[in-house]
Amino acid sequence: MLPSVLQPNATDHVPVLADEVRRLLDVHPGETVIDATFGAGGHAALLAPDLQGQGKYVAVDRDPSVRPYFESFRRGAGVQTRFLRGDFADVFERLADNGLRADAILFDLGVSSMQLDRPERGFSYASDAPLDMRMDPSADHSARDLVNEASERELTDIFRGYGEERYARQIAKAVVRRRKQQPFERTGELVETIKGAIPTPARFGDGHPARRVFQALRIAVNDELEALEHALPAALDTLHPGGRIAVISFHSLEDRIVKRFFQREARGCTCPPEFPVCVCGREPTLRVLTKKAIRPTAEEVAANPRAGSARLRAATKT
């Protein structure tokens, strides 16, 4: 068993690809910025000064524990600020309906260092804690529910699809066997079950043996891909013509959603390729600013290993 860690250990989040985000979002005085994933406000602290005291910074996060970070940001922001707690997919739909328009929108997806480093949130395989993983602690389903209730087939699909876990089937089988004796309550129990389900050599290469399963469960528990699919069109509706949108993703499935959305909106026409002429009449709504996803430099990854898998894409509304 892993040691039980009772004290939260808050570590501030280091903003990823910060200079590139700032350059692409190109914030000017008087504009409205929507930071869809406020976290510790690391990007906010870099973008808000570009408003030079005029404009509005709207912070969104589904995790209520970011509140103190927002309060501290608000005090020094020097511009109008607002915090909207909720899933960014819902928030953008509400904002679009209420007529609020933005000039710059940032999504910095995934979890923050504070979420990962607070053992009691249950995101980490590195310490024994309740198996939770909800970004929004009031959400209905936690990782505990998923691990104890999903079928073996569903668990296999989650581990394989979201975690690219090679031993997905074996791990799902071991999870179902273990929970028949006693339901899972803690991260440590899951780590032990994963270790026991994979061949001994696989326990030692390519990072921690539970890393991929934990990532997969986190994505499933928080419906992360679905939230992104819904949020992107709503965010585009919220953007003024000429407005910029930037998305940092940390998972190939997220990046694929962003890339396809940008391509679709930049193409406009949705007619089947075999049509000789366009009959849909749709015009492009985005111009892509990043031909290829921008990756962090080796220096950034050395200083902040969590930046390692980051990819940044940006576009401007036509």
Ligand X SMILES: C[S@@+](CC[C@H](N)C(=O)[O-])C[C@H]1O[C@@H](n2cnc3c(N)ncnc32)[C@H](O)[C@@H]1O
Count Cβ atoms below 10 Å from residue 3 Cβ, excluding itself. Answer: 9
Of the candidates 115, 113, 146, 109, the residue with the CA atom closest to the CA atom of residue 131: 146
On the 0-12 / 13-18 / 19+ scale of CB atoms within 10 A, 182 is exposed
First and final C-alpha spacing in the chain: 56
Kindly state the smallest distance separating residue 234's Cβ from ligand X, in Å: 12
Q: Which residue has the tokens 């998972």?
A: 251
* Of 41-49, 120-128, 267-275, 282-290: span binding ligand X (CB under 6 A): 41-49
* Nearer of residues 83 and 167 to ligand X, judged by Cβ: 83
* Nearer of residues 59 and 286 to ligand X, judged by Cβ: 59
Within positions 82 to 121, which residues make up the interface with ligand X, using CB under 6 A? 87-88, 108, 110-112
By CB under 6 A, residue 133 contacts ligand X: no
H or E element in which residue 242 lies: strand 239-249
By CB under 6 A, residue 37 contacts ligand X: yes
Tell me the CB-side half-sphere exposure of residue 237, using CA atoms within 13 A.
15
* Nearer of residues 134 and 317 to ligand X, judged by Cβ: 134
* Nearer of residues 163 and 188 to ligand X, judged by Cβ: 163
* Nearer of residues 43 and 118 to ligand X, judged by Cβ: 43
* Of 34-42, 152-160, 178-186, 309-317: span binding ligand X (CB under 6 A): 34-42
Secondary structure, 3-state, 7-71: CCCCCCCCCCCHHHHHHHHCCCCCCEEEECCCCCCHHHHHHHHHHCCCCEEEEEECCHHHHHHHH
Angstrom distance (rounded) from CA 287 to CA 265: 8
Kindly state the smallest distance separating residue 17's Cβ from ligand X, in Å: 10
* Nearer of residues 98 and 200 to ligand X, judged by Cβ: 98
What are 272's two structure tokens?
A: 């089947």
Binding residue (CB under 6 A) for ligand X from 22, 62, 160, 244: 62
User: What values do phi and psi take at 157, rounded to 5?
Assistant: -65, -40
Angstrom distance (rounded) from CA 18 to CA 297: 12
By CB under 6 A, residue 61 contacts ligand X: yes
Q: How many residues bind ligand X (CB under 6 A)?
A: 21
Binding residue (CB under 6 A) for ligand X from 27, 66, 171, 174: 66
Kindly state the smallest distance separating residue 95's Cβ from ligand X, in Å: 13
By CB under 6 A, residue 227 contacts ligand X: yes
Kindly state the smallest distance separating residue 73's Cβ from ligand X, in Å: 9
Kindly state the smallest distance separating residue 42's Cβ from ligand X, in Å: 3
Angstrom distance (rounded) from CA 142 to CA 220: 10
The contact set with ligand X (CB under 6 A) reads: 13, 15, 37, 39-43, 60-63, 66, 87-88, 108, 110-112, 135, 227
